[in-house]
Structure 1
Amino acid sequence: MSDRPPVVVTGSTGLVAKHIIAELVKRGHAVRATLRRMEKADDVRRAVKRLGGEAAQLEFVVADLEQRAGWDEAVAGSQIVIHTASPFPMAQPDNPEDVIRPARDGTLRVLEAATRAAVQRFVLTSSSVAIFYGRDLPSDHIYSEADFTDETRTDLTPYIKSKTIAEKAAWDFVQKNAAAPQLAVINPGFVQGPAPDADLSTSHELYRLMARGVYPAAPRIRFPVADVRDVALAHAEATERPDAAGNRFLVGSGQLTLFELGRILAREYPELSSKVPKFELPDAAVRALAYVDKRMRTILPELGATKDYTNAHVTSALGLRLRDADEAATAAVRSLRDLRLI
C-alpha cells in the first residue's frame, strides 16, 4: 500500500467511480472506497483491475448516503475525498424527493464528516445538468461553468433538480464553514466511454435497450458527451492541482443525439441495424408517450433545447485533451460487446 493518506472515493460501484479509482491507483494513491454492501467489493476490485489499476491499493468501507453512521470512519485520516455517489434512475420517481433527498443530504453528510476529519480537498461529481437549465437565456447562449441551473423551474426532472440542489448545497456549505475542505466540482456531460463490467450505468443501459429493439424511434434530443476516461482524469487532476480549488469544470466534447447513438451502434455492429431507432419522433409524440412510459419523462426538458457550450476551462486549467463524442460512444458500444452484453 502507498504510504500516503488514502483518497476516499464514495459510490465505488458506479461507472465514474470505478474509472476514478483505477486512475488514482495508477498514479500511486491508496484508495478507500465506500459502498453500501461489502459483498460488492470484489466486483469493484475486478473492474479496477480490468481498467489497469492495482487492486492491492484499494480498501473498502460500508457507508450509506441516507445514514450518518459510517462516514466519520470512512474519511478518517484522509486529506482528499471524491464524492461520486448520487442516485441516477432510469425512470423518474413518482416522488421527486426520493432522488433529491439522498443527493442533497448525502452530499452534506459526507462534507460534514470531511470537515470534522480536517480533510483538505473535496471533489464533488456534479453534472452538466446543473449548468444547462437556466432561465430566460438567449437561444445563442454558450454555456460554461459560470452558468447554474434554476432548480425552481417546473419543467425539470427530479434528477436535474437533485444534481443542481446537491451542488448548490455543497458550495453553500463551504462558504459558510471556515473549517470546510476546499471544494472543486466536476460537471460531466452524458457519460460514455468503456464499461468495465456488467454493472451498467444508466447511459450504457440505453444501448442494451436499443440493441433489443425497445426504441424503434428516438426523441429529437441531443446531449453534450463526456468520455468516462476524461471524467476520471478531471477528478484526479482536481485532487492534485492546488489552483483547482473553488472551481467548477464542465467536462464534455461535442454532442450527439439519441438517434446518432443508435447509428453508432449499428455502424459498429451491422447485425443490430434492424433493432436501433429508424427515425426521430416529433416532440408532441414524445410528450404523449411520457404519460405512459416513465423513462420518457427523463428527457422531456431536452426537447427543443440547445446546449452549445465551451470546454475551454477544463482543457486549460486541468491540462486535458478531451476525446470527442464519437470516440466516447464508440468505446461504449465496443465495451458492451466485449462484455457480451449486446
Structure 2
Amino acid sequence: MPSDSQVVVTGATGLVAKYTIAEFLRRGHNVRGTLRNMGKADGVRAAVTRLGADASKLSFAVADLTSDAGWDDAIAGADAVVHTASPFPISQPDDPDDVILPALDGTLRVLRSATKAAVTRVVLTSSTVAIFYPSGVSAGHIYSEQDYSDETRPDLTPYVKSKTIAEKAAWDFVESTPGAPELVAINPSFVQGPAVDADLSTSHELYRIMAKGTYPAAPSISFPVTDVRDVAAAHAEAAVRPGVGGSRYLVGEGRLSLYELGRIMARELPDIASKVPKFELPDFAVRIAAIFDRKLRTVLPELGEKKDYTNAKVKAELGLTLRNADDAVVAAVRSLRDLRLI
C-alpha cells in the first residue's frame, strides 16, 4: 500500500488498537478508528500522541460489534482494515454467548462491509488461544500456525471459544464469498508492554489485582508473552506486505508463569512485594476456588499445560525481532507505576 493509504482500525479504544493506530500513523497512513461512541475519541487521540504519532491524520466513525449500523460508512474508502475489536472479559460470563456472539457477529459484519467496499486486505486480531487447544495432539507437540483449537471441547472458557469461532468463521467467509478481501490473522499470546493510559487492558488489569494483595497464591500456569509494540508492528506489516494474504502469524516470545509475573513486580516495585503471590496453588485447589471466583475460571484451561511453540514464521515472513518476555513485563509494570495505577 502507498504510505498515505486509508486504514480502518476497529475497536480503537483497546490497547492493541491504540498501538496499531500509532504504528500506521508513524508510517504516514491515514487512519479511521471505530468507536462505540464518539465520546472516547479524544482519549484515543491523546494516547496515540503520547506514543509519538501525529493524530492529525486520525479520524473516527461510530460502529458497534452488535449492530449492522455504521459499518459500511466506517469502512468505505479503506485500502485495508485491521479488526482488533473483540470482547475480553477478566471474569467469565454466565452466558457464553455474551462473549461469543459479539466476537463472531462483529467479525462477519466487518468482513461483509469490507467486501462491499472492495477492501484489499483485512487483518484480524485473533489469539494464540485459537491455536493452543486442539483435540488429540500428542505429548511434546510443538504448536504453530497449523494448529486450530477445538471449540467443541467442554473445558474451554467462553473467551477461548469466541476467538476460535470468530477466526474460523473469518476464514470460511473469505473462502466462500466472491470478491472478499484477503485475510491475515495475527495470533498474539499474553499481551504485555507499556500501558498508555488508565483505560487498561485485561492483561494489565491483572497487575492491579496482584498489587492489591487479592491473591496471596497464584495458579500454577504459564503462557507465552508478547509485547504490545511487537503486536502492533505485526498488524502493520500484515496489512502492507505483499504475498502474506491467507496467512496466520503466532506472535509470542518466551514463557512466564503467573507466579513469575508477581516476582517481577516485587523486584521492580519493592514497596508492593508483600502483596504479590507468595506461592503456587495446586491445580485441585484452583478448580475448587473457581467455583466461587469467576476470575479464576479464565485460567482453568491452562492448568497442567506447558505448551511448546514456534514463532519462526512471524520472524521470517513479517521481518520482526520480538522483545523478550521479561522486558515486556517490566515495561508493563513500570508503565502502571508511572501512570500511578499501582
1:51 aligns with 2:48: no
8 Å contact 1:129–1:163 — kept in the other structure? yes
> Residue deviations 1:151-173, cap 9 Å, x none?
00000000000000000000000
CA distances 1:36-90 after superposition (whole Å, capped 9, x unpaired): 0100000001110111111101001100000001000000011100000000001
Residue-by-residue CA offset, 1:250-278 (whole Å, 9 max, x unaligned): 00000100000000101101111100000
TM-score between the two structures when normalised by the length of structure 1:
0.99
**Mapped partners of 1:25, 1:4: distance in 2:** 9
Cα distance, 1:306 vs. partner?
A: 1.7
User: Helix, strand or coil for the counterpart of 1:159?
Assistant: helix
Alpha-carbon distance in structure 2 between the residues aligned to 1:3 and 1:17: 19
Matched, 1:339 2:339: yes
- Which amino acid is the alignment partner of residue 94 of structure 1? D
For the residue of structure 2 that corresponds to 1:81, the secondary structure is strand
The secondary structure found in structure 1 opposite 2:123 is strand
Q: How does 1:182-201 map to 2 (within 5 A)?
A: 182-201=182-201
Instruction: Provide the C-alpha distance between the structure 1 equivalents of 2:274 and 2:172, rounded to a whole number of angstroms.
Output: 50
Tell me which residue corresponds to 1:128.
128
Q: CA deviation at 1:307?
A: 1.3
Letter of the 1:112 counterpart:
R
**Whole-angstrom distance in 1 between the partners of 2:3 and 2:126:** 30
Q: Kindly state the Cα deviation for residue 215 of structure 1 after the two structures are TM-superposed.
A: 1.0
Distance between the aligned counterparts of 2:28 and 2:134, measured in 1? 40
- 2:3/2:27 contact within 8 Å kept: no
Aligned residue number for residue 297 of structure 1: 297
Paired position in structure 1 for 2:240: 240
SS in 2 for 1:56: helix
8 Å Cα contact 2:114-2:180 kept in structure 1: yes
Distance 1:81 1:278 in 2: 44
Aligned-residue sequence identity (percent) comes to: 68
The DSSP-based 3-state class of the residue aligned with 1:243 is coil
Partner of 2:138: 138
The letter of the residue matching 1:122 is: V
Paired positions, count: 341
Does the alignment pair 1:32 with 2:32?
A: yes
Counterpart contact for 1:92–1:295, Cα < 8 Å: yes
Change (3 A) 1:259 1:77: same
Equivalent-residue separation in structure 2 for 1:85 and 1:139 (angstroms): 34
Q: Report the 3-state secondary structure (helix = DSSP H, G, I; strand = E; otherwise coil) of the residue aligned with 1:271.
A: helix
1:162 aligned partner: 162
Aligned to 1:209: 209
1:114 match: 114
**Whole-angstrom distance in 1 between the partners of 2:107 and 2:280:** 37
Shift of 1:5: 3.6
Give the SS at the match of 1:151.
coil
For residues 56-135 of structure 1, the aligned pairs below 5 Å read 56-135=56-135
Moved beyond 3 Å, runs of 4+: 2-5
Deviation at 1:178, TM superposition (A): 2.3
Give the structure 2 partner of residue 172 of structure 1: 172
Offset of 1:318 from its aligned partner?
0.4
Task: Determine helix, strand or coil for the equivalent of 2:87.
Answer: coil
Contact 1:119 1:181 in 2 (8 A): yes
Residue 3 of structure 1 and its aligned partner are, at CA, apart by: 8.5
The alignment's TM-score, normalised by the length of structure 2, stands at 0.99
SS at match of 1:250: strand
- TM-superposed CA distance for 1:194, in Å, is 0.5
